[in-house]
A and B are shown apart, each in its own frame.
Chain A
Amino acid sequence: SQTIHQWPATLVQPVGSPLSLECTVEGTSNPNLYWYRQAAGRGLQLLFYSVGIGQISSEVPQNLSASRPQDRQFILSSKKLLLSDSGFYLCAHGSISYEQYFGPGTRLTVT
């Protein structure tokens, strides 16, 4: 079965500090990988998706970047966090079908 891991589960970072969130998937090869963010009182916003190693598509211009150094690893980064980066970050994987499956998420609070 497929499993998706995210860490850390919670993170408190000061404004201006860097960020690195990691997501790994088990039990599948060449998955499509996605980063979403849920800000307070809002729905799920797609940030980045990747259909293969080194391939990243950005949906929303922002302070964040993503990388896919390995087939089943997806990393979300920032060089300098803003207050508005606070939120619940979710990694998801999918394949040729429409369904996407989400990890447990990371709660990021920027202070």
Chain B
Amino acid sequence: DQQVKQNSPSLSVQEGRISILNCDYTNSMFDYFLWYKKYPAEGPTFLISISSIKDKNEDGRFTVFLNKSAKHLSLHIVPSQPGDSAVYFCAASGNSGYALNFGKGTSLLVTP
């Protein structure tokens, strides 16, 4: 039962433009959300997170937006760079220190 869904398996964006990656969840008990970036043959690296008490968190070029009523979050990357090309995973948790529920990932390609 997939509780975290990333419905776009891939996204292509031109360098310098905005990349928007979307994620939906079904479990209303989730109270913390994370984004990870993964290159091929490497482990995922933590990118940015947001608590359910917030609706926006920003870190440099990366901003995560949370819409609790819609059970939807998105990651914005502005401006996009070729080095951002990777698979991005959305994750959610309702219990600190325990399991993260991951989406299937969205492969982002940033073209020059």
Contacts and interface: CB of A to CB of B under 8 A. Distances in A.
A105 B43 contact: yes
Given A46-B100, A90-B44, 20 more contacts: A43-B89, A43-B105, A44-B100, A45-B102, A46-B99, A49-B99, A51-B97, A88-B41, A90-B43, A92-B43, A96-B96, A96-B97, A98-B34, A98-B49, A98-B93, A98-B100, A99-B49, A100-B100, A102-B36, A105-B42
Contact of B97 (A6, A42, A94, A107): A94
Interface of A: 4, 6, 32, 34, 36, 42-46, 49, 51, 59, 88, 90, 92, 94-105, 107
Contacts, number: 61
B65 interface: no
A6 B91 CA distance: 22
Q: Give the contact-size bracket for chain B.
A: 20 to 34
Given A43-B103, A43-B104, A44-B89, A102 B44 contact: yes
Interface of B: 6, 32, 34, 36, 41-46, 49, 89, 91, 93, 96-105
Contacts of A45: 102
A44 B44 contact: yes
10 contacts: A4-B43, A32-B97, A44-B89, A44-B100, A92-B43, A98-B34, A98-B49, A99-B49, A104-B43, A105-B43
B46 A99 contact: yes
Contacts of A107: 41
In the complex, the 8 A-B pairs of residues with the closest C-beta atoms, listed nearest first? A102-B43, A43-B104, A44-B102, A98-B32, A43-B102, A105-B43, A102-B44, A46-B99
Contacts of A51: 97
Nearest to A88: B41
